[in-house]
A and B are shown apart, each in its own frame.
Chain A
Amino acid sequence: MEEVKVIDLENGTFVITDEILINGIKYVYLTNENDVMDFCIRKVKIENNEEYLVKLESDQEFDTAIQAFLNKHQDELKNFN
């Protein structure tokens, strides 16, 4: 077993797979705890010193977030044990 961080979204419980800072915005990569192929991306918005998760605004933003994830983790597919 391993301890992970989870959060409840509107459509289920998701595991925090990674966080990446892009242009000063923190993007959170979330994976459905019951299906590792079901994922989504949120970004963190700060209001009154509290962090909130909100959806992305465009396909372009989604692509940027995905590309940053790939850049960070590309080697992991080849080295997966």
Chain B
Amino acid sequence: MDTLDKFNQEDQEVLALVNKNYARARRESIEREQEERLRQTKIKYQTRPKNKQRDFVKKAIIGIVATATVLGVGSKMIDITKDNVARNEFVNIVADHVNDNVVYTNTLSSDGNGYTWYYDDVRKIAQETLNENKDIDIDTRIYGTYLGLNDYQRDEYMDKIMHELQDIVTENPLDYTEEEVRACNHTNFTDYLASLGMEKDDYIRFMRDVTLAYGQNDIEKVQELLTKLNGGGR
């Protein structure tokens, strides 16, 4: 069977798009003619800083890697790309409320690299973790909050958020489900992870699978994973 025959219709549409991007990148990167080479306007390599949406460079790297590899490794890579898109769309749902609470200052950080920022209202982030997206289980909502935080001081902020979560469920336990109370009743993030019987790296790997299953709308898989999660040690 020809390689192209292995792609279903949707894959072929992705492939066509990727092929087009790759051809354009190749065309725009190479001087084709000697004449063109001679009259080429040199552009001084002098950059300027600009603020872009979070993770722009990360996404740009993925764009180049995906475009350049997809023809070589075929549908498997397309599947990975599609899975990641589905997962990221889901993650945006459970992580978005964190972005609403970040405040960027006009003060340059001490190393001169970017501007300082802080989370304005940690309790509000905790409240929104508990009260929004109720159709999604609480552990995945907590993971969404974790992903939404900036990498820098992420664990410190998670400690504060877990503390707030505990305060909220102990103040009004009847407002929350048994699962929510059990998941949130920890003084800090380390205690929360311990309740799952996981180290942080294992937790991140495990929850990546959970969010992928949510993104694929594979509810059976979600339930299977959550059963394992809650059987971990809590």
Contacts and interface: CB of A to CB of B under 8 A. Distances in A.
A7 B29 contact: no
Contacts of A11: 28
A74 to B, nearest CB: 7
A10 B30 contact: no
A40 interface: yes
Interface residues of A, number: 53
A4 B65 contact: no
Contacts of B24: 38
Given A37-B67, A52-B43, A73 B48 contact: no
Given A4-B50, A5-B47, A56 B31 contact: yes
Interface stretch (B51-59, B119-127, B133-141, B166-174): B51-59
A21 interface: no
Interface in B84-116: 84, 88, 91, 104, 113-115
A65 B115 CA distance: 33
Interface in A15-49: 15-18, 28-29, 31, 33, 36-42, 44-45, 47
B135 to A, nearest CB: 22
Given A31-B60, A77-B66, 12 more contacts: A3-B115, A10-B43, A33-B50, A37-B17, A39-B25, A42-B43, A53-B42, A56-B29, A66-B64, A73-B61, A74-B69, A77-B69
User: Which 4 pairs of residues, A with B, have the shortest CB-CB distance?
Assistant: A31-B60, A51-B45, A5-B47, A40-B28
